[in-house]
């Protein structure tokens, strides 16, 4: 499972011009489920997102988690994170998990994030979404449950 985590001042998801989810300060997390991912991968990604110490403390040092900073998470499923563009010009999505398996794992990630005490908003699985955000920093972290990077 892969995730792109961005510290944001605000973030939102719209579908067909209608706002469907939004947060103020917190994390925008794009999540890609890959073939072979399990609940263990979902737990890893959720725990990392909730525990990342990337919010400034009173000294301006990134030393607080999203919960400690009283932030929220906006989670958006994005199968293209499993894309492989190493060969040619058209990415291959062969490692992206099929929707019927990916959706429950995406829902599991969100549930684990909520267990961590953080409010979680979400995009709509498989919808054509327009995602907006104001990246704070910018501050962006890449996560991979297989620890490939």
Which one of the listed residues 38, 55, 70, 78 is annotated catalytic? 78
Which one from 6, 79, 106, 108 is the annotated catalytic residue?
79
Ordered DSSP codes for 39-95: HHHHHHHHHHHHH---EE-TTS-EEE-TTTTT-EEEEEE-GGGG-B-SSSSS-B-TT
Contacts of 123 (CB under 8 A, 6+ apart): 13, 20, 21, 74, 75, 76, 77, 129, 131
78 catalytically annotated: yes
Please pick, among 70, 80, 124, 140, the residue that the annotation labels catalytic: 80
Reference 4, options 57, 56, 48, 51; nearest CA is 48
What is the token pair recorded at 137? 């920093």
Element (H, E) at 147: none
Whether 10 and 23 have beta carbons less than 8 Å apart is answered as: yes
DSSP code at position 97: P
55 is an active site residue: no
38 is catalytic: no
Q: Which residues are catalytic, by number? A: 78-80
């Amino acid at each position: 499972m892969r995730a792109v985590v961005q510290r944001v001042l605000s973030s939102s998801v719209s579908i067909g011009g209608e706002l469907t989810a939004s947060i103020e300060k917190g994390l925008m997390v794009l999540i890609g489920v890959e073939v072979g991912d399990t609940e263990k991968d979902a737990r890893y990604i959720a725990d990392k997102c909730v525990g990342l110490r990337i919010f400034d403390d009173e000294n301006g040092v990134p030393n607080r988690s999203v919960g400690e900073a009283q932030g929220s998470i906006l989670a958006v499923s994005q199968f293209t994170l499993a894309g492989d563009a190493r060969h040619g010009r058209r990415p291959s999505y062969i490692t992206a998990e099929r929707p019927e398996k990916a959706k429950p794992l995406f829902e599991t990630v969100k549930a684990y994030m909520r267990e961590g005490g953080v409010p979680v908003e979400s995009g709509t699985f498989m919808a054509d979404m327009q995602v907006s955000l104001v990246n704070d920093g910018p501050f962006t972290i890449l996560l991979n449950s297989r620890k490939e990077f």
